[in-house]
Amino acid sequence: MSSLDTGLSKKTSIMGLKLWVLICICVVVLICMFLCILSMWVTCQRKSRRRNKYPLSQIPNVPKDIRVDSVGGPGQHNNFEHNNNESSGNKSSGKMIFQLGVSKSGGADNVSQSSSMYERGRRSQSGEEGSSGGFWKQSSSSHGAMASPFIGLPETSHLGWGHWFTLRDLEQATRRFSNENVVGEGGYGVVYKGTLINGTEVAVKKLLNNLGQAEKEFRVEVEAIGHVRHKNLVRLLGYCIEGTQRMLVYEYVNNGNLEQWLHGDTRECGVLTWEARMKVLLGIAKALAYLHEAIEPKVVHRDIKSSNILIDHDFNGKLSDFGLAKLLDSGESHINTRVMGTFGYVAPEYANTGMLNEKSDIYSFGVLLLEAVTGRDPVDYNRVANEVNLVEWLKMMVGNRRAEEVVDPNLDLKPSTHALKRALLVALRCVDPDSGKRPKMSQVVRMLDSDFPYREERRNRKSRTTSMDSDTMSGSGDIERPTVSSEI
């Protein structure tokens, strides 16, 4: 041992350093070289990620056969009634509520409720014209009138459609996912309000990776609405994939949702007029008609409910939350799947058998329409036994010829008898227990469009008068009202 100590203590010819000192220096140099090489490798990997060099297996599959659906944007209207004791200034205050997902079981009620987020802010977000992701070029008129949310963002992050955001982009937008930026949360994850580097306000849905659920919901939403563009669909601007992180970036719609306007916080700022309610519902009907009939494969939303209907400052309805959506090929009449949705809105045949197609969405829309007409929840256990279920109660009221008593009592200006009967007729057809008798959503759009029957009647009468004599033509000047079921 003493000889080893003596050997290590001997001075060497290198600057007179002892042997043990020289050995230590060599070890330190080797460690430093290893750390430098490791640092360079990590840096190269990060740069590679930022250039979006991901494996093709990570890129979501998106339907490509999607057609353009142009929708004109209506002008702004006075669509709400202020309460006598409320000032208009209240409407600018930001509000947010959220609901966690719950489940109910037992027979036909075996329905898992999906979570949803409700958001309300301060700024107005204009509607997008209908188009598809396969056609990014827009007409010169619409292009000049509508700023792209991608202006000012790095072009290297674009991939096929929308924008491929980095984790750093979204951390900066949401102030590192600050709790102050949370606008909603539930079983799927957390939604943050964010501001991109170009000033565009967005809603960032950060999905929780519970047993791969984040990956599943991420792919569902991207494949369902990644390429589609419609004025009445909340626009998916892009997404983020880094490691296990899965995030979706949407346009920010900041005037609450239909549930809030009918039952929740925004009621203190005013009550939606009948015209505003019908405008919102007509927009959602157009969005569903587009998803069901204008694109391939068709998209079944599977969770139509008032909290998923966002409203902009022009009172246009925007359908959101495609986490439960299913794609249905043209050759498929239905698919068998686990029953999901929200209790009270789910079609009975789907709840009983698990057989899903677009008719399930149509039933849910009918319930939504009844909710807007009456101001009642689809299921309310605080009411007397025969009024708990909205659909059954309304059928009873119509059968007893008491249809005018079902109108939301909070409406100061009641709808005309004709307008009420039209809405109830459409809703009752949509909630027909026989799914085969329910109308298509394109037919619902025509029935809800108040001008449609009159335009058709004028067109038909004009064609008939060309072959009539003058007496017959003079007798046909009165336009008949569209026929409405005598039971209403």
Residue 13 within a domain: no
Series of mean pLDDT values for 10-residue runs along the chain (488 residues):
71 77 88 92 75 44 40 43 41 34 37 36 38 35 48 52 86 94 80 92 87 74 83 92 90 91 76 95 98 94 94 94 88 90 95 96 98 97 95 97 95 94 97 97 93 51 51 41 46
Q: Residue 301 domain-assigned?
A: yes
pLDDT the model gives residue 358 = 96
What's the one-letter identity of residue 268?
Answer: E
Q: Is residue 342 part of a domain?
A: yes
* Residue 165, domain member (yes or no): yes
pLDDT at 10: 73
Record the pTM.
Answer: 0.65
In this structure, are residues 412 and 81 in contact, taking their beta carbons and an 8 Å threshold? yes
Provide the CATH number for the domain around residue 271: 1.10.510.10
pLDDT of residue 13: 77
Output the known binding site for ATP. Answer: 206
> Is 467 domain-assigned?
no
Domain that holds residue 442: 67-448
What burial letters (b/e) apply to 439-461, b meaning 16+ CB within 10 Å? bebbbbbbbbbeeebeeeeeeeb
SS3 labels along the chain:
CHHHHHHHHCECCCCCCEHHHHHHHHHHHHHHHHHHHHHHHHHHHHHHHHCCCCCHHHCCCCCCCECCCCCCCCCCCCCEECCCCCCHHHHHCCEEEEECCCEECCHHHCEECCCEEEEECCCCCCCCCCEECCCCCCCHHHHHHCCCCCCCCCHHHCCCCCEECCHHHHHHHCCCCCHHHEEEEECCEEEEEEECCCCCEEEEEEECCCCCHHHHHHHHHHHHHCCEECCCECCEEEEEEECCEEEEEEECCCECEHHHHHHCHHHHHCEECHHHHHHHHHHHHHHHHHHHHHECCEEECCCCCHHHEEECCCCCEEECCCCCCEEECCCCCCEECCCECCCCCCCHHHHHHCEECHHHHHHHHHHHHHHHHHCCCCECCCCCHHHCEHHHHHHHHHHCCCHHHHCCCCCCCCCCHHHHHHHHHHHHHHCCCCHHHCCCHHHHHHHHCCCHHHHHHHHHHHHHHCCCCHHHHHCCCCCCCCCCCCCC
Residues carrying an active site annotation = 303
The answer as to whether 382 is a domain residue is yes
Number of folded domains that form the chain: 1
In a domain, 11, yes or no: no
Residue 48 lies in a domain: no
Look at residues 114, 95, 412 and name the one whose alpha carbon lies nearest to residue 254.
Answer: 95
